[in-house]
Amino acid sequence: MNSTATAPRRPIDIVNASLKRRYGAERRFRWLGLIAVMLGLGFVALLLVSIVSKGYTAFWQTYIQLPVTLSAADIDPKGVITAADTAAETRRKALVRANFRTPVRDALRAQFPDVSGRTDRRALNALISGGAALQLRHLVSEDPALIGTEQTLWLVADDDVDMFMKGRSTPIDEQPGAGEARPSAATGDITLTAAADDFTRITTSVRGFLERRTERLDRDIARLERILADLAGEGAQISAAMDDADAAARDRLEDRAARVDDRSGQIARKLERTRGEREALGARLAAAAAGEPLALSDEMPSFMVAINGGMVKVQEATADRLSGTVVSTLASADPAPPGTWRLLELRTPEDDRRLSDRQVAWIWQLEQRGLIEQRFNTLFFTNGTSREPELAGIAAALVGSFYTLVLTLLFSFPIAVGAALYLEEFAPKNRFTDLIEVNINNLAAVPSIVFGLLGLAVFINVFGVPRSTPLVAAMVLTLMTLPTIIIASRAALKAVPPSIREAALGVGASPLQTQFHHVLPLALPGMLTGTIIGMAQALGETAPLLMIGLIAFIVDIPGGLTDPATVLPVQIFMWADSPERGFVERTSAAIMILLAFLVLMNLAAVLLRRRFERRW
């Protein structure tokens, strides 16, 4: 930069000198913009991927195949259903009362004859959905002659089983045994000895878990000690301050000292407990190092051995020997040659999942027998909602949405087109039409929930329109979508050149004839495009519908416009609120279907626009 010192610099030199800095700023700004676009696109991708990855599995449902004996003793003890002369109504009532649950349970029990005890039986029964009984009822009501026969049926599995089969409960690692394994007995608490070091995986896993736990305890101890030291320091400070304090301050300080003491006591007790825990753990680890068996607990990953057609849940293990409980009786206590038995690791600890190890063992065995599989989930498309995720479907919501949308279309299209026609073509320019314009523009931006309040206060409470029905929903949605359609329709009317109107008026058509015969047909595609977009908006709307009672729990598919109903987005809202894991995938799947409809509608709008777009 010596030129500045010697000669006055020419402007162009200054410009050239600034270029590097300025192009740096240019590049940074450009990057910023690109990052913003990428973030936006990334959010779209994230949203869709998150929904699809959660939801695609809902289109399959786990079924369990069982030979079910439809015994007359359970279903039809009085022979009402089978009797040829029973009236249809009586038969229907008998079917509703009939016990279809016992046949299902018996069939499941037949698969695992060794299950006994109330708790275990209940755990076994929990594998099959309550919907299985409904399946049987449906079957029998179609053909009463089936009573007394044995049918091999695919029955709906419980949602926990479904989640497990879809890998959303716990991952399972399977490993074939390398050496021969010798069980000590076929049932009860047994030991299992392996010829090779087959169980090192168990010991490693348990040791790893214990070591991690020790580390955490060590950290806790350190933290507690630090707090204790701090408190001691504070106590010392207080007592030092107490020496030269007046009476009022002394009272306050004593108060504080008491609180510090209290807290120190608490922390000290906690520290003692933690140290005790830490020592016990250390002792266990030391014992394990010395060759003692390591015990498993419900907080760690579970291990099971599948051997001789049964299953053993591991309780303690060394590298080549374990003891455990038989959860499913072994066919024999013979030694199992290498490769015929397997070691299973359920990586999610039993405490953290809804299925117990025992239930997992049953499912695993059913799977080995080929009796459990995932099939296309027709229930999702034919059922209404349910408290049980595996039985919940979107049919009722879809029908509700359909009725609501059709009504909304019937209400809003004529009104919007009429209003647009009047405002664009006939309305004189005065304060009344100005008022309408301002209102339309503002209504387009009013929060949707406010329309819900309007619906509740006016339609339901004043006009007495029945609550929770497609009718009232359509009325509210009509008011909501009107601005959208009116604005689009006016734009479509504006796009029709004045020459068309002049031509029609020129041959003596009345203004209304001009509009209906010439302008409207030309503007129609644009109006329809706007209408479709408005309908898409209505299809996805939720908030105002909550206000007017569409949130009711609707199992039955609504039969008419004044039947209680729900709609797809509200159904999604309600499912999203349910705690069961099974509902997460159902909700996501319902969202996928909703989005699919929206995509179709928007696509239709785009195609319509392309097809009829006209340049004047």
Partner 1 sequence: MSQFLLLAVVLAAMAFAFQVGRNRAIRTAGGPTGIKDLHSLPAYYGWYVAIWAGLPALLVLLAWVGLEERIITLLLVQGLPPSLTEGLSDGRVGLLVNDIKNLATGGITSGDPTPAVQAAAERYRRWLGIADAARWALVLVVVLGGLSVAWRRLSPAFRARNRVEATLLGILVLFSSIAILTTLGIVLSVLFESVLFFQRVPWTEFLFGTQWSPQIALRADQVGASGAFGAVPLFTGTLLISAIAMLIAVPIGLLSAIYLSEYAAPRLRAWSKPTLEVLAGIPTVVYGFFAALTVAPFMRELGESIGLDVASESALAAGAVMGIMIIPFVSSLSDDVINAVPQSLRDGSYALGATQAETIKRVILPAALPGIVGGVLLAVSRAIGETMIVVMAAGLAANLTANPLESVTTVTVQIVTLLTGDQEFDSAKTLAAFALGLTLFAVTLTLNVIALHIVRKYREQYE
Partner 2 sequence: MSTTAEAIDTNTGNLRAADFDGERAFEGTLGDITTREPRMECRAVNVWYDANHAIREVSLDIGKHEVVAMIGPSGCGKSTFLRCLNRMNDTIPAARVTGSIKLDGREVLDRGIDVVPLRAQVGMVFQKPNPFPKSIYENIAYGPRIHGLVNHKSELDELVETSLKRAGLWNEVKDRLGQPGTGLSGGQQQRLCIARTIAVSPEVILMDEPCSALDPIATAVIEELIAELKQDYSIAIVTHSMQQAARVSERTAYFHLGDLLEVGATAQIFEDPQHHLTRAYVTGRFG
Say which residues have a Cβ less than 8 Å from residue 133's Cβ, sequence separation at least 6.
100, 101, 104
Residue type at 280 in one-letter notation = A
Query: What does 18 bind: partner 2, partner 1, none (CB cut-off 5 to 8 Å by kind)?
Result: partner 2
Residue 22 in contact with partner 2, rule: CB under 8 A: yes
Name the residue with tokens 């509740």.
456
Rounded least distance, CB 34 to partner 1, Å: 6
Taking residue 499's Cβ as centre, other Cβ atoms within 10 Å add up to 10
Only one of the segments 40-48, 92-100, 352-360, 519-527 lies at the binding site for partner 1 (rule: CB under 8 A); that segment is 40-48
Total residues in contact with partner 1, by rule CB under 8 A? 86
Residue 15 in contact with partner 1, rule: CB under 8 A: yes
User: Given the complex with partner 2, which of 11 and 464 has the nearer CB atom?
Assistant: 11
Residue 19 in contact with partner 2, rule: CB under 8 A: yes
Residue 14 in contact with partner 2, rule: CB under 8 A: yes
Only one of the segments 11-19, 202-210, 403-411, 447-455 lies at the binding site for partner 2 (rule: CB under 8 A); that segment is 11-19
Residue 50 in contact with partner 1, rule: CB under 8 A: yes
Q: Quick check: 162 and 155 in contact, CB under 8 A?
A: no
Query: What does 415 bind: partner 1, partner 2, none (CB cut-off 5 to 8 Å by kind)?
Result: partner 1
Rounded least distance, CB 440 to partner 1, Å: 5
Q: Which of 139, 595, 604, 608 is in the footprint of partner 1 by CB under 8 A?
A: 595
Give the residue from 605, 613, 599 showing the smallest Cα distance to 51: 599
Distance CA 391, CA 398 (A): 16
Cα 258 to chain centroid distance, Å, stands at 51
Rounded least distance, CB 490 to partner 2, Å: 31
User: Given the complex with partner 2, which of 16 and 442 has the nearer CB atom?
Assistant: 16
Give the residue from 444, 603, 608 showing the smallest Cα distance to 523: 608
Phi, psi of 5 (to 5 degrees): -75, -40
Distance CA 353, CA 411 (A): 50
Q: Quick check: 62 and 371 in contact, CB under 8 A?
A: no
Distance CA 158, CA 124 (A): 11
Q: Which of 1, 5, 7, 12 is in the footprint of partner 2 by CB under 8 A?
A: 12
Residue 15 in contact with partner 2, rule: CB under 8 A: yes
Query: What does 11 bind: partner 1, partner 2, none (CB cut-off 5 to 8 Å by kind)?
Result: partner 2
CA pseudo-torsion sign 130, 135, 140, 146? negative
Rounded least distance, CB 121 to partner 1, Å: 35
Residue 24 in contact with partner 2, rule: CB under 8 A: no
Name the β-bridge partners of 173: 345
Query: What does 303 bind: partner 2, partner 1, none (CB cut-off 5 to 8 Å by kind)?
Result: none
User: Residue 463, by phi and psi: left (phi above 0), alpha (psi -120 to 50) or beta?
Assistant: alpha
Residue 47 in contact with partner 2, rule: CB under 8 A: no
User: Given the complex with partner 2, which of 25 and 38 has the nearer CB atom?
Assistant: 25
Q: Quick check: 567 and 550 in contact, CB under 8 A?
A: yes
Query: What does 479 bind: partner 2, partner 1, none (CB cut-off 5 to 8 Å by kind)?
Result: partner 1
State the greatest distance between any 2 C-alpha atoms of the chain, in Å, as a whole number. 121
Q: Which of 9, 13, 17, 33 is in the footprint of partner 1 by CB under 8 A?
A: 33
User: Given the complex with partner 1, which of 161 and 536 has the nearer CB atom?
Assistant: 536
Say which residues have a Cβ less than 8 Å from residue 142's Cβ, sequence separation at least 6.
none
Here's the x/- map for partner 1, 440-479, by CB under 8 A: it reads as xxxx-xxxxxxxxxx-xxx--x-xx--------------x
Residue 14 in contact with partner 1, rule: CB under 8 A: no
Query: What does 196 bind: partner 2, partner 1, none (CB cut-off 5 to 8 Å by kind)?
Result: none
Residue 382 in contact with partner 2, rule: CB under 8 A: no
Site for partner 1 in 527-586 (CB under 8 A): 536, 539-543, 546-547, 551, 569-570, 572-573, 576-577, 584
| Tally of helices (H runs) and strands (E runs) in the chain | 22, 11
Q: Which of 4, 10, 13, 23 is in the footprint of partner 1 by CB under 8 A?
A: 23
Rounded least distance, CB 164 to partner 1, Å: 20
Phi, psi of 81 (to 5 degrees): -70, -40
Distance CA 349, CA 59 (A): 28
Residue 97 in contact with partner 2, rule: CB under 8 A: no
Give the residue from 533, 498, 534, 501 showing the smallest Cα distance to 515: 501
Site for partner 1 in 393-422 (CB under 8 A): 414-416, 418-419, 421-422
Query: What does 382 bind: partner 2, partner 1, none (CB cut-off 5 to 8 Å by kind)?
Result: none
Phi, psi of 376 (to 5 degrees): -60, 135
Total residues in contact with partner 2, by rule CB under 8 A? 9
Rounded least distance, CB 25 to partner 2, Å: 10
Only one of the segments 8-16, 47-55, 356-364, 510-518 lies at the binding site for partner 2 (rule: CB under 8 A); that segment is 8-16
Say which residues have a Cβ less than 8 Å from residue 356's Cβ, sequence separation at least 6.
123, 350
Only one of the segments 17-25, 63-71, 398-406, 559-567 lies at the binding site for partner 2 (rule: CB under 8 A); that segment is 17-25
Residue 30 in contact with partner 1, rule: CB under 8 A: yes
Name the residue with tokens 């299950």.
115
Q: Strand 342-346 relative to strand 172-176: parallel, antiparallel, unpaired?
A: antiparallel
Query: Helix or strand or coil: residue 329?
Result: coil
Residue 521 in contact with partner 1, rule: CB under 8 A: no
User: Given the complex with partner 1, which of 381 and 516 has the nearer CB atom?
Assistant: 516
Burial class of residue 231 (count of CB atoms within 10 Å of its CB; 0-12, 13-18, 19+): buried
Say which residues have a Cβ less than 8 Å from residue 262's Cβ, sequence separation at least 6.
none
Find the radius of gyration of the CA atoms of the chain: 37
Rounded least distance, CB 459 to partner 1, Å: 9
Query: What does 584 bind: partner 1, partner 2, none (CB cut-off 5 to 8 Å by kind)?
Result: partner 1
Query: What does 517 bind: partner 2, partner 1, none (CB cut-off 5 to 8 Å by kind)?
Result: none
Size (the chain), residues: 616
Query: What does 485 bind: partner 1, partner 2, none (CB cut-off 5 to 8 Å by kind)?
Result: none
Residue 381 in contact with partner 1, rule: CB under 8 A: no
Residue 29 in contact with partner 1, rule: CB under 8 A: yes
Distance CA 70, CA 102 (A): 9
Phi, psi of 311 (to 5 degrees): -135, 140
E-strand spans in 218-301? 294-295
Cα 569 to chain centroid distance, Å, stands at 14
Residue 172 in contact with partner 1, rule: CB under 8 A: no
Q: Which of 5, 8, 11, 243 is in the footprint of partner 2 by CB under 8 A?
A: 11
Residues that bind partner 2 (CB under 8 A): 11-12, 14-19, 22
